[in-house]
Structure 1
Amino acid sequence: MNDLHQKELLLKSILENTRAQTQAIEDDELELLETLITRREGIIRQVDKLDQEMARTTPGTSKEPTGPIKELLRQIITIDDANQELMEKSVQDMGKEVEAVKEELRTIRERRRQGESYVPEYGDYREEGVFFDTRE
């Protein structure tokens, strides 16, 4: 198999992986996203190894991507940039949720403190019964 064809196949798998990452980000599936990122890093290592092998076997070839490879790289970069924006938005949304939960906890604590102010200090102690003075 031709090295350029093999590189094109690897880049197509990176493109599919990047699209799957988009879906994982949108669905808030962080475990799946982590798995996809790990796979992508492995594929990128394979592409790097292939590039080094191509540079060794065919010296003088241009490192500038051409044709379909250039188009694949452009698509990957475009989707990856969109994924970065989605992740940043997701992180901001999570930060807002954390702040909302903190505020809710603050109000719950305040209400509890206010409620405790009106409860007798020693619980439900009531003086009942009759006292008989037995002194003479």
Structure 2
Amino acid sequence: MAAITAELIGRTRRVYEQEKQPQVLLLASDYFSKLTEGEYKRVVMTLGHKELKAEHKNGRLLDSGLLSRGTAEQLYLAIRLALAETMSRQISLPLLFDDLFVNFDESRLHAALGLLGELSISRQIVMMTCHKHVAEAAARMIPTAAVISV
């Protein structure tokens, strides 16, 4: 039974890697470029090594572990958004974020809110924060945002 389960899990993983991962990486690259305002061009998963890298606008590949904390968080946000988009093509599920921008400076915050504003056209996005400047920036940058204080 364990051998059959392991085989099925392995097949599922291979199907995901061959069919879904390229879509995820392409979309994550687009999102990452937007989030970094063109500083990074794409997200790369090196074949065989399973290492996540970011391609800088100068063409240099950087291991994700060498990115600054803010840039690494932008990378992981891009991947999460891409996964959500590719996994819910048939139905747009809402996205829920809790204090997502804790380590973002002002330019990163504005880039992220710009992207979330674009994505909010086709899906509901709920963001929770205890940071007043984040709520104020979201209200300014996303005209359709409903800011609710509790």
Larger radius of gyration between Structure 1 and Structure 2: 1
Q: Which has the higher contact order (CA 8 A, sep 6+)?
A: 1
Structure number having the greater helix percentage: 1
Same fold (TM > 0.5):
no
Compute the TM-score of the two structures, normalised by the length of structure 1: 0.26
Structure number having the greater strand percentage: 2
Compute the TM-score of the two structures, normalised by the length of structure 2: 0.24
